[in-house]
Copies of this chain bind each other. A is one copy, B any other.
Amino acid sequence: MFRINENYLKLQGNYLFSSIAKKVSAYSAANPEKEILRLGIGDVTQPLAPAVIDALHKSVDEMASADTFRGYSPDQGYAFLREAIAAQDYHSRGVQISPDEIFVSDGAKSDSGNIGDIFAQQNKVAVCDPVYPVYLDTNVMAGRTGSADPASGRYEGVIYLPCTEENAFVPQLPDEVPDLIYLCCPNNPTGTTMPKAELQRWVDYALEHGCVILYDAAYEAYIREDGIAHTIYECRGAERCAIELRSFSKNAGFTGTRLGFTVVPKALMSGDVSVHDLWARRQSTKFNGAPYIVQRAGEAVYSEAGRRQTKEQVDYYMRNASCILEGLRDAGYTVYGGVNAPYIWLKTPGSMTSWEFFDLLLEKAAVVGTPGSGFGPAGEHFFRLTAFGTYENTQAAVDRIRHLQIL
């Protein structure tokens, strides 16, 4: 008699964004005349850059002719893409990551979920609270946690790193030593960052205690200020303790095109076992590469035109971020993030819970955001707004929130 993976039964409710989608669908069905403004899920709205579109058309044409047709991709991804990444994301910042330490994938969500495969079930996991749900849920699924406490929503056996107003949303080194540490900077959901010196403390800690840092840098393109690391490998020794996850979703609008990569340095070892080789084995066995045409699209992001055009997109979204940040601050809200990240972390007014504020915003303003408590108990009384809408919709949403006059 077959048995299911009972760890799945420990998961609380549905995947956050699926739950929101259902609420919004129900509202929309009941109020077909209302125009809903979506500042909820972190999905982009700007079309793909012209350089990317050109690369897609060109590579589609290659697939139409036997002479230029491409079948299975090399296991780690095409060299043309890995070389562009190594040169522009790493070498240009003085960081020595080689193309064969880069693994091209269908996105950072898959990688951040799948990376756990190569680590033992017994590892103790540390995550920020609030946190991108994928890090936590995938570890629940893998059996690295106990059950959730119904009151707090926290899973037994997980080390939570609270990110609160008191610590400026910067996770502090824990008392109990974890084995795997998930960090995300610029942060989803809080939209805040940590100074490079703070990140170096985490790297030093990981080296001292034999931890692996799983570093999600999906929002790197949004960094505007100095003193923030664009890659964890800017920190001394990080190549011996850190895996970096990167995405094309937010810097180039690939949420529906699907491309990402993960860096596993060869210097990252567990005794005499190379973690790089384990990941190579995992990927060559359970994954068959990103589409050729999408890898060509990724290459185009690194072309001169592609860099200029995608930077314009990021600037467009950051104008939205400023609009939200300033508009809501002027209206008396307490807001964080939004300076080096496309997310604004809003404190809910009065004693409202995150979901109460979600319902209020949906019902009274037809504006969709993401309840902070969906990212963890320390996210309660906060609310995430994203800058990925159109400028017009973003302005309109801010106006609607202001006119609610909750405060």
Q: Which of B45, B56, B113, B292 contacts A256 (CB 8 A)?
A: B292
With an 8 A cutoff between CB atoms, is A14 at the interface? yes
Q: What residues of chain B lie closer than 8 Å to A273, measured between beta carbons?
A: 4, 9
Number of copies: 2
In the complex the two chains form, is A3's CB within 8 Å of B290's CB?
no
Q: How far does the alpha carbon of A46 sit from the alpha carbon of B65 in the complex, in Å?
A: 8
The number of residues on chain A lying at the interface, defined by a beta carbon within 8 Å of a beta carbon of chain B, is 82
Q: How far does the alpha carbon of A394 sit from the alpha carbon of B111 in the complex, in Å?
A: 38
In the complex the two chains form, is A256's CB within 8 Å of B4's CB?
no
In the complex the two chains form, is B2's CB within 8 Å of A255's CB?
no
Q: Which of B63, B180, B286 contacts A47 (CB 8 A)?
A: B63
With an 8 A cutoff between CB atoms, is A28 at the interface? no
Q: How far does the alpha carbon of A70 sit from the alpha carbon of B48 in the complex, in Å?
A: 10
Mark interface residues in A230-263 (1 if CB within 8 Å of B CB, else 0). Answer: 0000000000000000000000010111100000
In the complex the two chains form, is A64's CB within 8 Å of B73's CB?
no
With an 8 A cutoff between CB atoms, is A80 at the interface? no
- Return A289 CB to nearest CB of chain B, in Å: 7
What would 14 more interface pairs be, CB under 8 Å, given A4-B118, A5-B120, A73-B256?
A1-B179, A2-B270, A4-B275, A15-B281, A46-B69, A69-B256, A72-B255, A113-B286, A114-B286, A134-B285, A256-B292, A257-B291, A258-B289, A291-B294
* Pairs A-B, 4 closest by C-beta atoms: A113-B286, A1-B210, A43-B71, A3-B120
